[in-house]
Amino acid sequence: MRALTLARWLMPGLLSRYRVPTAIAIIGMAVFGTTSTLLGANASHTATDRYGLGSEALRAINVTSYGRDDDPSPVTAGALDELAALTHVESAHAWASTEIVLTVPDDAISLSLVTRISAVQPAPTRGAEPTRNGILLPESLRTEHGFDVGDTVTIEYIRSEDGNGGVGVETEIPVDGFFDDTTVGLDGPGVAYGAPDAVLTLLGASRGHSLDWMHDNFVFTMGYLVVDDLEHIQDVADVLLERGYGATALTTLTSSLPAAQQLMDAVAVVLSILLGLFLVVTAAGIASSVVSARAAEVGVLRALGWRRHEVLVCFVAQFAAFGTLIGAIGVAAVGSLLAVVSLLPPGVRVLGVALDPRLDLNGWLTLLVLTLAPVIVFVLASAIPVLRLARIAPDEVLRDIRR
Amino acid sequence: MIDLRGVTKRYRTQGRTVVALPPTDLDAAAGEVVWIAGASGSGKSTLLGIAGLLVAPDGGEVRIGGERVEVGSRRIRIGFAPQSPHLLGELSAVRNVRLAHERTSTAKAEDALYAVGLADAMHIAARRLSGGQQQRVSLARAIVEQPSVLIADEPSSGLDDESALRVFAVIRSIADRGSAVCVASHDARVRPFCDRMIALTSARPE
């Protein structure tokens, strides 16, 4: 009991005397902990983060058929519904395209109106995803012709006339947003995006079919499946190939991606090891210093009748408390830094690493380890010096100990 | 009260055996102060270590209250005031004294400090006290549990006249309350406070 009492009495002095290494340890915890957590989170979230290596685009598999009615594996709405039910498939999307003409002052621009599949297409730069009847236009049209979100534009599409060719029909639709078209995406240049049923309605009109007919019978040129994890792309692609579809995943074409993800995992591990070593060196340094400074006093205590285990308990308790304090403050600092990061707009990167402060199970485990590690490290790293201290014989006091 | 008969101690140092303490007798009755004098290296501290049950003698025996005792015996209350106080500097005087024994209360510690004349310095951090005050805290720590035997090693070391006399007076008062006291000292100022003196000769190679 008196051992713990003495430990409690000595703690403030210990913290005061070693405030610099304590502060450095806490800062180290905060920096390494935050970086490690962010890197770990980044690596973990690559499977779901649209800004990361595992964005939906990279988890997407392009499903193709020959586009003929006698195709043994036609990509129909029903077939996509079945594929959507496959294990590891998050979602399935049919891709269609039809030609439209956009009326602009003194001119007309031909565009391909493509089914909006946000997973594999550029994100809106202004406005939002197209609604049921709206359209997402290229940014270049906004700058060249002064369109803005909420405007109404006139388009012309072809409507079939009972097998006698088609006629152009004009209609007005709202502009829901714009996307960056400076880089050509998977859908090629000169595209605009519309909601699936809007595209299908116009496409059906050009062929003389109703929307319901298109849903039930139309064979799409292709579709996209989004898989839940990069690791499962090959499995799903194998199933598609077995069923007679063409299956291409961007990820399988970029072999460096898994290596990059592994590198980020490895960096997180290396940082954790560095943090551990840093704590060990700090704890051992403080412990050695304390033992040197306390040898004479402990010698007197032993002469006064203190037993070895009391000395051991007293100093182990101090280092455990020291480690607990560093762990608690360090993790609080990590939490604060992550909270600050969470206030940044999504997609912000530092040295190419997306700052994603979300904590999954691994993130929480990292924080738990960060809390407990200093306690364990401080107790273990101080063990040898403290055992040496506890072994001081009572008669050492007669020799005026100066260690 | 304490009776050492023929106690001896040898140390091995640099390949040689040194007789730190030739066969020596020492006894102190309850209420008696015995002054152990001798030059440096004569074995005073070793003799005190044996008397304080901190050092196991190579020969001879130690009896306290007529009972033979060994190093580490905890049934006997022995107060020990080392030559250097080695107080825990950041703790107050009263907390340093409280560390003397598991059962030492704050009230007892304050009484002991009062007895050594440190009533005004009880709650001052030990490192802020003068050498003489620290020596008296060390003495308070040794006497706080009313020991049967008090061992004091050079208690006036580095003290001015006033402080030294005060320390010796405290030691005398402890003896007057029934303790057997052994004081090792070079300091002749202790003489008036002692009942007897024994002189040790220098230790030598065997």
Task: Write a three-state SS string for B120-158.
Answer: HHCCCEHHHCCHHHHHHHHHHHHHCCCCCEEEEECCCCC
pLDDT at B98: 93
Residue A401 confidence class, pLDDT cut points 50, 70, 90: very low
pLDDT at A44: 54
User: Cβ of B77 under 8 Å from any chain A Cβ?
Assistant: no
User: Cβ of B94 under 8 Å from any chain A Cβ?
Assistant: no
Residue B31 confidence class, pLDDT cut points 50, 70, 90: very high
pLDDT at A403: 35
Distance from CA of A348 to the nearest CA of B (A): 50
When CB atoms are compared, the residue of B54, B80, B102 closest to A1 is B102
For the ranges A187-201, A237-251, B18-32, B78-92, the lowest mean pLDDT is seen at: A237-251
Higher-pLDDT residue of A221, A183:
A221
Q: What is the pLDDT of residues A205-262, one digit of tens each?
A: 888 889 999 999 998 989 999 988 777 888 898 898 888 888 888 665 555 555 666 6
pLDDT at A365: 81
Instruction: Report CB contact under 8 Å: A2, B74.
Output: no
- Give the CATH number of domain B1-76+184-206; options: 3.10.20.340, 3.40.50.300, 3.40.50.150, 3.40.718.10: 3.40.50.300
Higher-pLDDT residue of A69, A77:
A77
pLDDT at B14 over 90: no
When CB atoms are compared, the residue of A305, A306, A398 closest to B45 is A398
Q: What is the mean pLDDT of residues B168-187?
A: 91
B48 interaction partners in chain A (CB closer than 8 Å): 398
pLDDT at A46: 52
pLDDT at A252: 59
Instruction: Report CB contact under 8 Å: A398, B153.
Output: yes
Residue A331 confidence class, pLDDT cut points 50, 70, 90: confident
Higher-pLDDT residue of B194, B16:
B194
Instruction: Report CB contact under 8 Å: B99, A6.
Output: yes
Domain ranges within chain B, ordered by starting residue: 1-76+184-206
Going from the C-alpha of B205 to that of each of B14, B15, B17, B47, B109, the distances in angstroms are: 11, 11, 6, 17, 44
Residue A94 confidence class, pLDDT cut points 50, 70, 90: very high
Q: What is the pLDDT of residues B57-77, one digit of tens each?
A: 998 999 988 888 888 676 567
User: Nearest chain A Cα to B141, which residue?
Assistant: A304
The complex scores an ipTM of 0.84
For the ranges A5-19, A26-40, A191-205, B4-18, the lowest mean pLDDT is seen at: A26-40
User: Nearest chain A Cα to B72, which residue?
Assistant: A305
Distance from CA of B193 to the nearest CA of A (A): 24
Q: Which residues pair with B167 in a beta bridge?
A: none
Sign of CA dihedral A323, A328, A329, A331: positive
* Spatial distance between the Cα atoms of B78 and B89, rounded to a whole number of angstroms: 24
Q: Is the overall model pTM greater than 0.90, yes or no?
A: no
The structural domains of chain A, ordered by start, are 2-52+258-399 (no CATH), 59-95+218-253 (3.30.70), 97-214 (no CATH)
B184 φ, ψ (degrees, to nearest 5)? -95, 130
